[in-house]
Amino acid sequence: MPTYITPIKDIMYNLTDVLNIEQYQSFPGFEDATEDLFKAILEESGKLCEEVLLPLNTIGDIEGCTRHKDGSVTTPKGFKEAYKLYCEGGWLGISQDPKYGGQGLPYIVTILLEELLASANMSFNMYPGLTGGAASAINVAGNDKQREKYLPNLHSGKWTGTMCLTEAHCGTDLGLMRSKAELQENGIYKVTGSKIFITGGEHDLTENIIHLVLAKIPGGPEGSKGISLFIVPKIMINDDGSLGEKNGVMCGSIEEKMGIHGASTCVMNFDGATGYLLGAEHDGLKAMFIMMNGARIGVGIQGLAQSEVSYQNAANYARERLQMRSISGTKNPDGPADPIIVHPDIRRMLMDARAFNEGARSLAMWVSLLPNFVKGEVDEKKREEYNDLLGLLTPVMKGYFTDKGYENATNAQQIFGGHGYIKEYGMDQFVRDARIAMIYEGTNGIQALDLVGRKLGANGGRAIQSYFALLTKDIEENEDPTSDEFIKPLKAALGDLQSASIWLLQNATKNPDNAGAASYAYMHLLGLVALGHMWLKMAIKSSKVLKEGSNDPSFHENKLITARYFMKRMLPETSAHLKKVEAGADIMMALKADSF
């Protein structure tokens, strides 16, 4: 059975040493966000993750969800009790508006919890995860009455929420949507259509489920411009807040999937269900994208989370499993063989994961402050810059983090050899669960297109220019001979990113397919540079701490060791990505479709 230890020390290091979080206490929500409070939150939620949610992860995988003939769905044994504990902890509304029952702490707290929860039990965490997304959409797009009606119960976890976008014939291309919403005389709508892949569409955790449903109002514009968003409760809500009759929505079936078996993935049939317009008519995609952008960061965190928990288990196994002798001389002479952690190729997989995990965590924490900077900054130019960076890095976090999450989970499984392939050790679940994160909330290919097609070119390349300026500043400020081993590789990688960006700016207009052909490699290139940036910050900080004297020197020495590994082994991959970018679209598009 897998184990999991909350990485509190590494998170606190980022909060205090790298981000110096207490400097932001003038920002709204940060007044009380002291280091002590963060630590208390991490310890308390960590306990829930380690003791309750992790053991349920295996059970959820084996048992899965069950749909009954009446359309009701039972979650795996123990999920209901765990959900109750989760709600009692107040974790769901921790960053939400206190006006509606939230705790008003900064967004970074939610992001930290996402990592812990998704490491311990990714399937379980999807129920509250989607609920948070639905609440955000109602908060942004809804009116006061809607906020008052839904948010307190969503923030407390009394109800959960869903995101109903996909139909069998349309996933990415929402313009093809067939679900419709017809206006009734009383100002409400009747929603009809069938939605697929609806996470948490039906379950037994709560008494009600608030579906956010995309549908077309007949007579509206064609394609994606004619899509509206509706609130469709599973059970109607009376004016006094009590529950009324069942609404016309039903789970038609649940999907059999490769993984995340503990999360119910439903076909949801809406049959003249009562729906309330959320936001303006035909303006549904805007609200949905608010929800989606947060969800994309959350899915990126799932990649990190699966990488972290599988890494921890692989490291434990590598320390214990005795097999062969070290090629550089026996390391465990009293045992029948050496622990496999002495073998460089086992180290390769562990170090790859470790350097990614710590870099990605650091990046995620910094990115999760950006929304606060956007709100809290006085300087409008600065606000715009932070908003640009958030937009630029969101698809990178989703695409790059989840690709690496799958790769690292696969490597962690590999360290177990044949024992990783059988169910006994639970390592294959991490791989199967991590796999979905590359697909949902927009496939990673769509993230790459969002990055290159939307974010890169917008406002004359303003976002990437800001990022270059930030990186250059951080490099220049730290340039001295003692930091060469960190500065030089980052400079080279930044050079590759700049070349790739220039190539794109020059060639994407000539032939838009050049953007598409380059997009995936560009996303990985940017991901590497972004991690390199955080590793530079960490290396500089840990060097400084060591110079000044630390009561935990080995922690900082390990940071430097891992930083060196990242800079020397991983970051230079940027050059191969640059070559792919520069290879262009022609060779990729030359084959006729029917020749494949």
Considering only residues 548 to 577 of the shown chain, the ones binding a copy of itself according to CB under 8 A are: 554, 558, 561-562, 564-565, 568-569, 572-573, 575-576
C-alpha–C-alpha distance, residues 151 and 131, integer Å? 10
Residues 6+ apart with CB under 8 A from 289: none
- Is 146 a binder of a copy of itself (CB under 8 A)? no
Query: Rule CB under 8 A: which of 329-348 touch a copy of itself?
Result: 336-337, 339, 341-348
The CB-of-327 to a copy of itself minimum distance in angstroms stands at: 4
Report how far apart, in Å, the C-alpha atoms of 490 and of each of 367, 479, 495, 528, 563 are.
Answer: 19, 11, 8, 9, 11
C-alpha–C-alpha distance, residues 240 and 419, integer Å? 56
Query: Rule CB under 8 A: which of 180-209 touch a copy of itself?
Result: 196-197
Among residues 28, 218, 512, 553, the one that binds a copy of itself under rule CB under 8 A? 512
C-alpha–C-alpha distance, residues 465 and 457, integer Å? 11
Contact 143, 276 (CB under 8 A): no
DSSP 17: I
R_g over Cα of the chain: 24
Q: Mask of contacts with a copy of itself, 294-323, x by CB under 8 A?
A: ---------------------x--xx--xx
- Is 546 a binder of a copy of itself (CB under 8 A)? no
The CB-of-592 to a copy of itself minimum distance in angstroms stands at: 8
Among residues 159, 356, 386, 440, the one that binds a copy of itself under rule CB under 8 A? 440
- Is 258 a binder of a copy of itself (CB under 8 A)? yes
C-alpha–C-alpha distance, residues 140 and 437, integer Å? 25
The CB-of-146 to a copy of itself minimum distance in angstroms stands at: 29
DSSP 22: G
Query: Rule CB under 8 A: which of 76-135 touch a copy of itself?
Result: none
- Is 173 a binder of a copy of itself (CB under 8 A)? yes
Query: Rule CB under 8 A: which of 443-502 touch a copy of itself?
Result: 443-445, 448-449, 453
Among residues 155, 432, 524, 541, the one that binds a copy of itself under rule CB under 8 A? 432
Among residues 8, 183, 374, 439, the one that binds a copy of itself under rule CB under 8 A? 439
- Is 64 a binder of a copy of itself (CB under 8 A)? no
Residues 6+ apart with CB under 8 A from 351: 562, 565, 569
* Joined tokens for residue 477: 């400020």
Q: Mask of contacts with a copy of itself, 383-402, x by CB under 8 A?
A: --------------------
Closer CB to a copy of itself, 48 or 342, in the complex: 342
Give the chain's length.
596
Name the pairing type of β-strands 235-237 and 189-199.
unpaired
Q: Which residue has the tokens 């059999």?
A: 256
Among residues 5, 140, 513, 546, the one that binds a copy of itself under rule CB under 8 A? 513
The CB-of-36 to a copy of itself minimum distance in angstroms stands at: 27
Closer CB to a copy of itself, 1 or 588, in the complex: 588
HEC string of 50-113 equals: HHHHHHHHHHHHHHCCEECCCCCEECCCCHHHHHHHHHHCCCCCCCCCHHHCCCCCCHHHHHHH
Closer CB to a copy of itself, 94 or 436, in the complex: 436
State the catalytic residues: 441
Q: Which residue has the tokens 């540079």?
A: 529
Segment lying near a copy of itself (by CB under 8 A), choices 149-157, 270-278, 389-397, 579-587: 579-587
Give the burial class of 187: count Cβ atoms within 10 A of its Cβ; 0-12 exposed, 13-18 middle, 19 or more buried.
exposed
Query: Rule CB under 8 A: which of 216-255 touch a copy of itself?
Result: 255
- How many residues make contact with a copy of itself (CB under 8 A)? 98
C-alpha–C-alpha distance, residues 437 and 457, integer Å? 26
Query: Rule CB under 8 A: which of 400-419 touch a copy of itself?
Result: 406, 410, 413-414, 417-418
